[in-house]
A and B are shown apart, each in its own frame.
Chain A
Amino acid sequence: MLRIVLGGVVLIALLIFSLGTALVVGLHGRGLAALNGADWSAVKFTLWQASLSAFLSIAMAIPVARALARQVFPGRQALITLLGAPFILPVIVGVLGLLAVFGRAGWISAALQWAGFAKLSIYGAPGVILAHVFFNLPLVTRLLLQAWAAIPAERFRVAESLGAAPWAYFRLIEWPMLRATVPGAFLLVFLLCLTSFVVALAVGGGPRGTTIELAIYQAFRLDFDLGKAASLALVQFTICGVVSLLAFLVPLPQTDGLGLDRVVQRLDGPQHRFADGLWISAAGAFLVLPLGAVLMRGLRHMLELPPQILAASVTSLTIAFASTALCLAMALSLSLAFARRGSLARSLAEASGILGLASSPLVVGTGLFVLIFPYAQPMTFALPITASVNAMMALPFALRVLMPAVQEAYGDYLHLRLSLGMGRWIWMIRILGPRLRRPIGFSAGLAAALSMGDLGVIALFADPDLQTLPLMLYRLMGAYRMDQAAATAVVLVVQSLLLFWMFDRGGRGHAAFG
């Protein structure tokens, strides 16, 4: 009963933060406003770029995750941890890193010119997609890797002892897992790309790269048309809703046979060594080179870091810990409340959880501002608001990881609990706890890293004495101090990765792989 109440409370809070803030903004203006032709073409462009980016990220992540899942090599764990980095980079830093490699003055252009060819130009559609794949491929790879590691070792053992061919491995073991994981992963990347506008614009090459989020920006800044901003936000939610339904309606395969929680040992690794090696090196280079450019650029200027870096780090860490705790509490409440309900209830719960990702930070921030302002100075709530909004943005990831884990734990072991008459606490500590430890660690790592890297709504509620690392980075850039900003980016990346590693490691316990 308590579970349902908690789950319900979380759902209501989520709806207030997402749809609620959009409606508040609309009502504060002159009601919802109709969209014009330019807005609809922004909708079209947004749908196109988000679908394509999500599709390509997934298509490339599958072979990369599979390669990482079945190969063991020195530095594997470091590479996997590093894979988390592009995802948490402030977009402006990531874009500059990408351009250092793929830009007109980048390494590839330099090599092409040296060899007598024309410079590489990625601006336009290729740039948008390249950048979105750069930011999202690592995330999808991590999500898929997580799912690969969750396949019980026994299945691979059985397959191995039956002498299964590679195709049979895929069809019988990996395909059901992919069918269960890919739609959700697609949805997440799609939504991440849906609300991005700095990237789409910076490498999109011009006003053709207008996304819905940019149209919202325009409605706010230039026209102060709150109704229009709210309408656009609702269009974003509608798209999110439709795509979520499509993703969640894909029937999940039944789990067949439980494992004994052994470490997965893939014996089929060696035969795929060459192809896997290619995928890992290609993806590794694609992700690590721009990251290396960012780090190299910053490391040279570490000594010029302003003293404010300490306070900013502490603020960022505080927000990250608070939002991680909040995100986990929400994800667990929802998972425990809805994982065992019918698939419709579960889908609805997860769809509400995912709304956060389809919210425009500008609309959420303004909505909260309008709600709080009559009663208090919103600036005094800068920290809790930023932590809550960050938690909400990370929730879909945590749900994606936790919901199936809870569902599987109940599916596999509930009959055991019933037949043994196991008490609530024993069940929680002995069965559920250990099974959720890894997904909890992973989602906590994601939530913390996401919160570290996100500029978020703090910019809207900024208190002069309170700055996070991303805010400090933007302020340094705005004051021409690009070198110090680059050094700040290094601090940000290192701290976020450490945080991610700490949580994820804690979740993995003593497991050797994952």
Chain B
Amino acid sequence: MKLTSLFAGLFLASAAVAETPVLTVYTYDSFISDWGPGPMVETAFEATCGCDLQMIGAGDGAALLSRLRLEGTRTEADIVLGLDTNLTAAAAETGLFSPMSLSANYAVPGGWSDRYFAPFDWGYFAFVHNTQLTAPTNFRSLAASDLKIVIQDPRSSTPGLGLLLWIKAAYGDEAGDIWADLSDNIVTVTAGWSEAYGMFLEGEADLVLSYTTSPAYHLIAEEDSSKTFALFDEGHYMQIEVAGKLATTDQNALADQFLQFMLSDEFQSIIPTTNWMFPAVTPKMGLPDGFPQALSAEQSLILSPQEAAAQRSAALEEWQNALAR
């Protein structure tokens, strides 16, 4: 008797689960980690959607795109969240994404319009240093100084690729010379952001390639005001992180609902102190105290997705040649 009711209970429970629609979101690993925005986003969305939001992590943005290409049209993903504009040209080319018409009052410098993707946050690459350092004001003065920097490899790291395109966007054909001049400042090139940032914190270098928002983490989460970033007069290269809807989704309405939610105040106000990036739509409460100012549109450098895709290989070769010495 008891066994029968147990089975009945199990059956009912699984039936109830089966009725709840599941929305599958692929994103990068640090988004879903316990210290990222994932857990709060999940709670907030599930409170209103009557659905089960499943967020699946896959490395970083580039790994995410590789994963999607492996899965092709058989993917279970309804939404992909976490590609940046250096990847969107390749992502759109796969034909896996569905066009969308989403509009919002974007705070992204230079505005936003794209057929397939909508931004959820953005940031600037910058060299972070301790406040007592007299910081360089551009790449030339950095190269002329004997300051030491740690950077990331563009082949394995998103910020590394960002720096490559930053110098390309700022210096064009002279980028190779800048790299050659910088080579004696570079202590080392790491595989990922964590190694580089960890080495910087241990004092191995004077500056590290990171984001303008990195000092805000130390200030807000650790009440440590000893870090700041070097403002470069060439401007700072932007990273805009976007989400897109898969054409193969079987949860079209729910996916649209999620994208709307992504631009809502609730989602956007989670971003600054969990993802440590600028929210794509400034929340009503504004940015938290200690967060840096956004730069002007003129100071915000970015290559269009097509340019970024077109210039990458040549820029990478230039970089390798300049640093191979």
Contact = CB atoms under 8 A, between A and B. Distances in A.
Interface string B10-30: 000000000000000000011
Contacts of B35: 475-476, 479, 481
Given A96-B199, A202-B195, A217-B156, A207 B71 contact: no
15 contacts: A99-B199, A104-B204, A105-B202, A123-B188, A198-B191, A205-B189, A206-B323, A220-B66, A221-B66, A224-B65, A476-B35, A479-B35, A480-B197, A481-B35, A482-B197
Contact of B186 (A28, A197, A206, A220): A206
A158 B90 CA distance: 73
Contacts of A104: 148, 187, 203-205
Given A104-B187, A370-B70, A459 B195 contact: no
Interface of A: 28, 38, 92, 95-96, 99-100, 103-105, 123, 127, 197-198, 201-209, 214, 217-218, 220-222, 224, 306, 308, 366, 369-370, 373-374, 377, 379, 459-460, 462-464, 474-482
Contacts of B59: 459-460
Contact of B156 (A214, A475, A479): A214
Contacts of A308: 34
A214 B155 contact: yes
B194 A478 contact: yes
Interface in B1-60: 29-30, 32-36, 38, 55-59
Contacts of A38: 320
Pick from B186, B187, B198, B320 the residue with the most CB of A within 10 Å.
Answer: B198
B78 interface: no
B319 A92 contact: no
B252 interface: no
B171 to A, nearest CB: 19
A407 to B, nearest CB: 40
A228 B187 CA distance: 30
A369 B69 CA distance: 12
B209 to A, nearest CB: 14
A198 B156 CA distance: 10
B50 to A, nearest CB: 21
Contacts of A463: 56
Contact of A105 (B161, B183, B204): B204
Contacts of A480: 197, 214, 217-218, 221, 276
B182 to A, nearest CB: 11
A201 B29 contact: no
Given A201-B153, A479-B35, 15 more contacts: A104-B148, A104-B187, A104-B205, A202-B188, A202-B199, A207-B189, A224-B66, A373-B71, A374-B74, A462-B29, A462-B32, A462-B56, A464-B56, A481-B35, A482-B197
Contact of B62 (A221, A476, A477): A221
A369 B70 contact: yes
A99 B34 CA distance: 29
Nearest to B30: A478
A28 B237 CA distance: 35
A463 B205 CA distance: 35
B217 A206 contact: no
Nearest to A478: B30
A105 B201 CA distance: 10
Main secondary structure of the interface of A (DSSP, over half): helix
Contacts of B183: 206
The interface centre, meaning the residue of B35, B62, B63 with most chain A CB atoms within 10 A of its CB, is B35
B284 interface: no
Which size bracket describes the interface of B in this complex?
A: 35 or more
Contacts of B217: 480
A35 B188 CA distance: 26
3 closest A-B pairs by CB = A105-B203, A479-B35, A477-B194
Given A207-B324, A462-B29, A482 B34 contact: no
Contacts of A28: 70
Contacts of A201: 153, 156, 188-191
A205 B190 CA distance: 8
A128 to B, nearest CB: 11
Which one of B66, B90, B324, B325 has the highest number of Cβ atoms from chain A below 10 Å of its Cβ?
B66
A104 B90 CA distance: 40
B193 interface: yes
Contacts of A370: 70
A373 B189 contact: no
Contacts of B201: 482
Nearest to A204: B188
B320 to A, nearest CB: 5
B266 interface: no
Given A104-B148, A474-B194, A479-B33, A373 B70 contact: yes
A349 to B, nearest CB: 33
A14 to B, nearest CB: 24
Contacts of A459: 29, 59
A475 B274 CA distance: 13
Contacts of A218: 155-156
A475 B33 contact: yes
B76 interface: yes
Contacts of A464: 32-33, 38, 55-57
A393 B198 CA distance: 28
B194 A222 contact: no
B312 to A, nearest CB: 7
A203 B65 CA distance: 29
A127 B217 CA distance: 31
Contacts of A476: 35
Given A96-B198, A222-B155, A306 B34 contact: yes
Nearest to B34: A308
A477 B202 CA distance: 13
A478 B323 CA distance: 26
A373 B199 CA distance: 38
Contact of A217 (B55, B155, B316): B155
Contact of B312 (A100, A222, A374): A222
A209 B156 CA distance: 13
A123 to B, nearest CB: 5
A478 B29 CA distance: 9
Given A221-B63, A374-B74, A92 B320 contact: no
A92 B76 contact: no
A496 B133 CA distance: 41
A314 to B, nearest CB: 16
A370 B191 CA distance: 25
B145 to A, nearest CB: 16
A203 B194 contact: no
B155 A221 contact: yes
Nearest to A205: B188
A161 B148 CA distance: 62
Given A99-B204, A464-B38, A206 B66 contact: no
B197 A205 contact: no
